[in-house]
Amino acid sequence: MSMVPEIDFGTPASRAEKMVTLTIDGNEISVPEGTSIMRASMEAGIQVPKLCATDMVDAFGSCRLCLIEIEGRNGTPASCTTPVAPGIVVHTQTSRLKDIRKGVMELYISDHPLDCLTCAANGDCELQDMAGAVGLRDVRYGYEGDNHVKVRGTDGMNAKWMPKDESNPYFTYDPSKCIVCSRCVRACEEVQGTFALTIEGRGFGSRVSAGMHESFLESECVSCGACVQACPTATLTEKSVIAIGQPEHSVVTTCAYCGVGCSFKAEMRGEELVRMVPWKDGQANRGHSCVKGRFAYGYSTHKERILNPMIREKITDPWREVSWEEAFAHTASEFRRIQYQYGRESIGGITSSRCTNEETYLVQKLIRAGFGNNNVDTCARVCHSPTGYGLGATFGTSAGTQNFDSVEHTDVVIIIGANPTDGHPVFASRLKKRLRQGAKLIVIDPRRTDMVSSPHIKAAHHLPLKPGTNVAVMTALAHVIVTEGLADEQFIRERCDWSEFEDWAGFVSLPEHSPEAIEAFSGVSAEELRGAARLFATGGNGAIYYGLGVTEHSQGSTTVIAIANLAMVTGNIGRPGVGVNPLRGQNNVQGACDMGSFPHELPGYRHVSDDATRETFEKLWGVTISNEPGLRIPNMLDAAVDGSFKGIYIQGEDILQSDPDTKHVQAGLAAMECVVVQDLFLNETANYAHVFLPGSTFLEKDGTFTNAERRINRVRRVMTPRNGFADWEVTQKLAQTMGLNWAYSHPSEVMDEIAATTPSFAKVSYEYLEKMGSVQWPCNEKAPLGSPIMHIDGFVRGKGKFIRTEYVATDEKTGPRFPLLLTTGRILSQYNVGAQTRRTENVVWHEEDRLEIHPHDAEVRGVRDGDWVRLSSRSGDTTLRALITDRVATGVVYTTFHHPTTQANVITTDFSDWATNCPEYKVTAVQISPSNGPSQWQIDYDEQARHSRRIAGKMEAAE
């Protein structure tokens, strides 16, 4: 094995189509117009020495090492900032250039420590490489003069020396090794878009500074690591590299956090992971990453990870470690007993959006073929099920219409109910880059998120709506577009059903849907709303990106339909730069949905009542599949409370923490006789489990993840599963113990079965993915290269369907007892229920969930910043600490749900989307009052959790 090769071309690729031919060192080469001479040289195979250039950022021309000579032109221009021209003859190595380069390197090295042998970058240092490349043999200036290297000078302390900044948990900043090439500063600006770094001072005094000469941790830095990746020396270095040393081989794999699905090179030394480096050929992330993907993998070796199977009779007993055989035999016999005793429908399972497509496919297959029912559901139930419904009804496919590259062609963006800088940071960086190029932004969100206003980003319109009024606002946007004659009639006539459009247009034009009419209850200024509608309809390519703030409402599906209507009425479907783009939460939530995880759908979104589809699987599996949809998660819990549902197999999901109305979930789980949890850790759900099957991490298995843009990315095993088996093997062994004749020897065989049975995956195989890197489904005979953009010449369902979107206020209303509206969300450093990120150093950024409250609301209730407050709703109450901020409007409070001790879902109600049962997480009427500390419920819960996590023969973990 070896390192995955990546060429640094020095400057970004030119997009021009016109080609230019020139001669470099005697080689004739043709490159697109606008390409730098440096890049053209690299393409011709000639590496011009360089330090300040890298192809992730624009050329800067400061290091003066990449100079070249051009026949007929004066001087020695920098090859990074000089574009190619037709017919020029370039020389990259002449005696004049050699002298200049050597002189420049002497200056660099005269202010750089000579500790190469003990330096963390040894073997991966561009300064070292360049010293070698230019033939540096001595430094005439010596090392005694002014410098940033030595702690002490000849007369006492060296004021120019600065100590190492080790505040960031993942990387160090050592100013003494800095050559001030500005690559980190430019990466922070151009790639990440945070602008947390600068060069302070001038001349010889110039140094990289985070924030206003702050430590990295205190500065605006979001720890994405782009600067570390860009640094050519050991100035910014991963602490893991300092601890372990340089990697010796690398493997391309896919991040297991959010739905962006970034491609990474896992750089390894033996079976030890040295670092994750975003892969430049990754088509979702284009070489960028966030703090979670790059750094937060420490959970895979965390001491709390469970590595042995465990069982127990009652949930009040301590766990007993058993062999895998015993665990499988026990589970199989329990499931069979329950089915014998309570009927075939009395057990079910939940697939995981964190696991691979192949694993999800196997779990639903186990349930359909082994359990003999359709009682399978997945966490998409609680996040993007309305997306499936809404986009399926209007366009004909349950997925986003674009690839992420599409954002580079967008002119106006609507972000609704999403906070991409925290939830989908890499997409946010790509979007911010486009916004800095001049695209306009409309944010529809109750909170003033970072997208509304942050360095170099300013939304043209922010519509701070009251939680729960999405449909009214979206319909009002359509009202303005239709009544002001801004609709794209040609598009609608060609692509959509005209009579349905007319009906819908008549509906939205009604005066009660005007911005003025809804202003009173939506809280959105009519004038702002009209401005936003006009901008979206007339501003060029318009794209809509949305998140859980759209779907997790009682009218989630209606809002998705309203979004689809808005895209159709403005003609923004079917080409780059437009479209409807759900920002999906989990790495493989798209894939889990594709793989038939819903109780009513077989893989490929085909209804279980469809005889032909059932027959395909029945023939292959040799079983009869029920044509009746099974139970959804909430139905399973209801049935459990009623006594008719007794056993469940949950792979990689923590429903107790993530699902709404915690007390109801608790009651449901407690009523079951065999709860099987397969996970990395004893999660909250495991407190109610009878069997625990240890799971494996994404680093320990082969498979595929499908990201939010329908991209099927390979996940590659880089280390042996610490628990002994990859998750797909665990499911297979359980199935075998239950008597099914499965014999997969590798996940690729599972993918072959998926491709053989599911038309939209027809051409997908591991071999094909190896060749293509990744593909976006549908990938079949009609679209052999996959489908980056959907609905190009017409909608999948035929004609686009306009559907009326009547606003119905949620039953969850504020009143005298509960006057505030609670909405929930995420923050950058933590991920979902936090099972992974809480077990990494990421906790330095977010050690507890806080309640954001507007200063006015806080003052009325006598709450000060940092005070403990009691948060109560009709469902329950919990306590957490307040954070006073005007990011939220008056009347709205906000919190995250990353920490189990907070249990925000004790508060959320059991209201849900009318079409899909997606819970209404985003609107809960609450009251806030000062409090002394944790509520009795929290104390009881902690006690129960601690009691439940005991493992026989092991010391209880001190906490």
Partner 1 sequence: MNLHFASRDIGARTLEIVDEMKALEGPLLPILHAVQAEFGYVPPEAMPVIARALNLSRAEVHGVVTFYHDYRDHPAGRHVLKLCRAEACQSMGGMALEETVKKLLGIDFHQTTLDGTVTLEPVYCLGLCSTAPAAMLDGEVHGRLDAAAVAELVAEARA
Query: Least distance to partner 1 from the beta carbon of 223, Å?
Result: 15
The minimum distance between CB 843 and partner 1, in angstroms, equals: 24
Question: Footprint of partner 1 on this chain (CB under 8 A)?
Answer: 194-202, 209-214, 219-220, 453-458
Least separation, in Å, of the C-beta of 186 and partner 1?
13
State the Cα–Cα distance between residues 158 and 176, nearest whole angstrom: 12
Residue 953 has a CB neighbour count (10 Å cut-off) of 9
Smallest separation, CB 765 to partner 1 (Å): 47
Q: How far is the CB of 239 from partner 1 (least distance, A)?
A: 22
Distance CA 305, CA 332 (A): 24
Containing 860, the helix (H) or strand (E) segment is: helix 855-860
Nearer to partner 1, 267 or 450 (CB): 450
Nearer to partner 1, 205 or 506 (CB): 205
**Centroid of chain to Cα 667:** 32
Contact (Cβ atoms closer than 8 angstroms) between residue 650 and residue 597: no
- Rounded CA-CA distance 461/441 in Å is 7
b/e code 484-503 from CB counts within 10 Å (16+ = b): eeebbeebbeebbbeebbee
Extended beta strands in 847-891, E state: 850-853, 868-872, 877-884
**Residue in the structure block whose two tokens are 């609450």:** 926
Of all helices (H) and strands (E), which one includes residue 32?
strand 27-32
- Taking the complex as a whole, the smallest distance from the CB of residue 214 to partner 1 amounts, in Å, to 8
**Distance between CA atoms of 123 and 631, rounded to whole angstroms?**
57
Between 222 and 444, name the residue whose CB sits nearer to partner 1: 222
Q: How far is the CB of 199 from partner 1 (least distance, A)?
A: 6
> Which C-beta is closer to partner 1: that of 228 or that of 258?
228
Q: Give the span between the Cα atoms of 609 and 626, in whole angstroms.
A: 8
Rounded to a whole number of angstroms, the minimum distance from the CB of residue 845 to partner 1 is 17
CB of 440 to partner 1, least distance (A): 15
Q: Closest distance between partner 1 and the C-beta of residue 174, in Å? A: 19
Burial 854-885 (b: 16+ CB within 10 A, else e): beebbeebebeeebbbbbbbebbbbbbbbbbb
Phi-psi region at 104: left, alpha or beta (left = phi > 0; alpha = psi -120 to 50)? alpha
Residue 252 to residue 267: CA distance in whole angstroms: 9
Tokens for 154?
A: 């000849």
Tokens of 317: 């007993």
Based on CB atoms, which residue is closest to partner 1, 189 or 552? 189
| Nearest residue (CB) to partner 1, 201 versus 784 | 201
CB of 189 to partner 1, least distance (A): 9
> What's the count of helices (H) and strands (E) in the chain, helices before strands?
29, 38
The single-letter DSSP state of residue 310 is E
The smaller minimum CB distance to partner 1, of residues 198 and 736, is found at 198
Nearer to partner 1 (CB atom), residue 428 or residue 636 = 428
Quote the CA–CA distance of 954 and 320 in Å, as a whole number. Answer: 10
Nearer of residues 214 and 317 to partner 1, judged by Cβ: 214
Residue 620's nearest CA partner among 598, 597, 603 is 603
- Joined tokens for residue 324: 């895998």
CA dist 265 and 805 (Å) reads 45
Strand partners, 251: 266
Please tell me the distance from the alpha carbon of residue 664 to that of residue 684, in angstroms, as a whole number: 14
Kindly tell me which of 384 and 432 has the beta carbon lying closer to partner 1. 432
* Dihedral Cα 226, 227, 229, 233, nearest 10 deg: 180
Q: Which residues of 822-842 are buried (b: 16+ CB within 10 A; e: fewer)?
A: bbbbbbbbbbbbbbbbbbbbb
* Cβ-contact 715, 254 below 8 angstroms: yes
> Which of 402, 419, 404 shows the shortest CA–CA distance to 462?
419
Based on CB atoms, which residue is closest to partner 1, 214 or 500? 214
**Burial class of residue 74 in the structure, from the number of CB atoms within 10 Å of its CB (0-12 exposed, 13-18 middle, 19+ buried):** exposed
| Minimum distance, C-beta of residue 211 to partner 1, in the bound complex (Å) | 5
User: How large is the angle between the packed helices 385-394 and 556-569, nearest 10 degrees?
Assistant: 40
Q: Which is nearer to partner 1, 62 or 301 (CB)?
A: 62
Name the amino acid, one letter, at 848: E
CA distance 903 to 881: 13
Residue closer to partner 1, measured from CB, 225 or 400? 225
Q: Residue 276 has which token pair?
A: 């994750």
Residue with token string 């489990």: 689
**Min dist. Cβ of residue 408 to partner 1 (A):** 22
| 6 versus 200: smaller Cβ distance to partner 1 | 200
Q: For partner 1, which is the closer residue by CB, 194 or 378?
A: 194
Q: Which residue has the tokens 């709450």?
A: 863
Q: At its nearest, how many Å lie between partner 1 and the CB of residue 435?
A: 11
Q: What is the closest distance, in whole angstroms, from the C-beta atom of residue 175 to partner 1 in the complex?
A: 14
- In the complex, the smallest distance separating the C-beta of residue 216 from partner 1, rounded to whole angstroms, is 11
In terms of CB distance, is 214 or 752 closer to partner 1? Answer: 214
Instruction: Give the residue with the Cβ less far from partner 1, 196 or 583.
Output: 196
Cβ atoms within 10 Å of 950's Cβ, excluding its own: 17
The least CB distance from residue 219 to partner 1, in Å, is 7
Query: Which residue lies nearer to partner 1 by CB, 222 or 563?
Result: 222
Question: Smallest gap, in angstroms, from Cβ of residue 202 to partner 1?
Answer: 5
What DSSP line would sit under 225-270, residue for residue?
-HHHHH-SSSSEEEHHHHHH---SEEEEEE-SSBTT--EEEEEEET
